[in-house]
Chains A and B, each alone.
Chain A
Amino acid sequence: GEDVEQSLFLSVREGDSSVINCTYTDSSSTYLYWYKQEPGAGLQLLTYIFSNMDMKQDQRLTVLLNKKDKHLSLRIADTQTGDSAIYFCAERTGGYQKVTFGTGTKLQVIP
């Protein structure tokens, strides 16, 4: 079965880089996602990576995928206070409706 795990909390200083990690168990994942949830709001897609890629960069965001270790990471460069949120890793396996979300990592940015 699918299982997606993340650490619950990360604290960084403004201007530093943040690295949020995720491990998953299903080797048949097709897409892996990072969603962001701001307080009192729903989730919003930040970025995604297709399973045949090992890196994707999008402005301040870098996603690294290690398929051998089933490890996904999200690096946020020059972290800002507006980046404070909960970040969810998610994997899609099989059909498009089969998306499993991790527990979420709460990122606290200290000014």
Chain B
Amino acid sequence: NAGVTQTPKFQVLKTGQSMTLQCAQDMNHNSMYWYRQDPGMGLRLIYYSASEGTTDKGEVPNGYNVSRLNKREFSLRLESAAPSQTSVYFCASSESGTGEHEQYFGPGTRLTVT
């Protein structure tokens, strides 16, 4: 199993450009998440999807949109990139129902907006 995969690994954008970050998981998990990681701020939740067909805002959703394309794939779109969106982006997935719900993380996308 590949687990959680993300593309691209690195990206440089100019202010105002758009792009989509792709994420896929092969663990048949219902729940998927997008986080951003900034120095000294830990991980902050951007959006999550509790199940196929549903998405909800997290702590920092402004400037982002998401699509839960199917059970495997959850994409994050920046419509008009800003320097404040320079960050490392992580996708994660987890089971639902009872239990400790370990989140499985992808390797991250390092995005720089100039």
Name A residues whose Cβ lies closer than 8 Å to a Cβ of B: 4, 8, 31, 33, 40-45, 48, 50, 88, 92, 95-97, 99, 101-104
Cβ proximity bits B88-114 to A, threshold 8 Å, 1 near / 0 not: 001010101100111101111000000
- Chain A residues whose C-beta falls within 8 Å of the C-beta of B41 in the assembled complex: 103
- Chain A residues whose C-beta falls within 8 Å of the C-beta of B74 in the assembled complex: none
Are the CB atoms of B43 and A43 closer together than 8 Å?
Answer: yes
Which bracket fits the contact residues of B?
20 to 34
Are the CB atoms of A48 and B102 closer together than 8 Å?
Answer: yes
Write 22 A-B pairs (CB below 8 A) sorted by A numbering.
A4-B42, A33-B100, A33-B102, A42-B92, A42-B105, A42-B106, A42-B108, A43-B90, A43-B92, A45-B102, A88-B42, A95-B50, A96-B94, A96-B101, A97-B33, A97-B48, A97-B56, A97-B94, A99-B103, A101-B35, A101-B42, A103-B40
Known interface pairs A44-B105, A103-B41; 19 further A-B residue pairs with C-beta atoms within 8 A, sorted by A's residue number: A8-B40, A31-B101, A33-B100, A40-B107, A40-B108, A42-B4, A42-B92, A42-B106, A42-B107, A48-B100, A48-B102, A92-B101, A96-B94, A96-B101, A97-B33, A97-B94, A99-B101, A101-B42, A102-B42
Chain A interface mostly helix, strand, loop or mixed? Answer: strand
**Least CB distance, A11 to chain B, in whole angstroms:** 18
B31 within 8 A of A: yes
